[in-house]
Structure 1
């Protein structure tokens, strides 16, 4: 009489787990293959496979890319990073131009509102520079825009601190909190000259070296220095 033995529960569960692992592995390989096909297709489309690589390898590797990407009139050159940046800008613009959804996060909603305000040129022209004048007045005014300007009753250090704390702007010096170079597990206050010093160096290299490199650089302040 034929006999059919029952499969032990442990063996059955083992088979289920094995099948699940196989399905996940297959799906993972398909996902990776699909993801890798995108850059692969991009590289293949950039190649001029009609060219002989032994004669002109550059034409073989990049011939079609050069044909498809013409240097814009407002640029001196173009490369793959700039093309990707332009594509990203277009994607971001499309996202920012969408209506604010009640289900999206506050950061995304604020970004869309800010973008819409920046693109509202008619409102900007109507308001003019009134918001900027208001900010300048709150910071003590500016001799260029105020005929009867007088120096405010606070120090320049206070002004620099307010610019960083209220407007997140680094003037003269740029300061921020970041990981310590010697111990990345600790955050420290870091200070460096603002980016405008590179322009100053370009036009006055000798004066820049004598005033900044010898006296102010490098300038790294940690919490223990205060």
Structure 2
């Protein structure tokens, strides 16, 4: 059972999402929030597996809420952090980039159909942290040059990659290019399980929360370049 928290400041959108999710097998809606502050409080109390997070909200926005929820989960250290799926009205959104930079697992357009929404929740809940690699890569390429210039509140500089092994760097490059684990395994002549191991070690060394965040880091550090 995937436990989901729904966050959106527009009542009709939030109610529609809740109704759709409640009708889906294998999904339990553990709460709904109308703003970022309420989302942070509910996430701490209900410990959802997945959070559908509206990105543009008055007061505490989706970027700030994402940062606080993931920081709170890290401080608690009790079980995995929730995977945050950002909801947006258009894909090339610098707010979404800020949320991915903060550790969100991916994003979904609000006009996506019910099947795509449920597939996204299932994918993210199952650990597939990058739901749409090609679209996410395009978003990151569009805004990576703005790294450290105020995209999101309190944006931190990208981490140093010196701690990574040569193979971990290779895997990170290919992840940033939008390749799946299976495609990376074929490219490097290693097993898919080995790819996952390299990725997990990379994320641990760089203190990252999601695969999407790893893509952001790859661009911000210059490991890969837009259009390269």
TM-score normalized by the length of structure 2: 0.19
Q: 1 or 2, which has the higher helix percentage? A: 1
Q: Normalized per residue, which structure has more strand? A: 2
TM-score by length of 1: 0.20
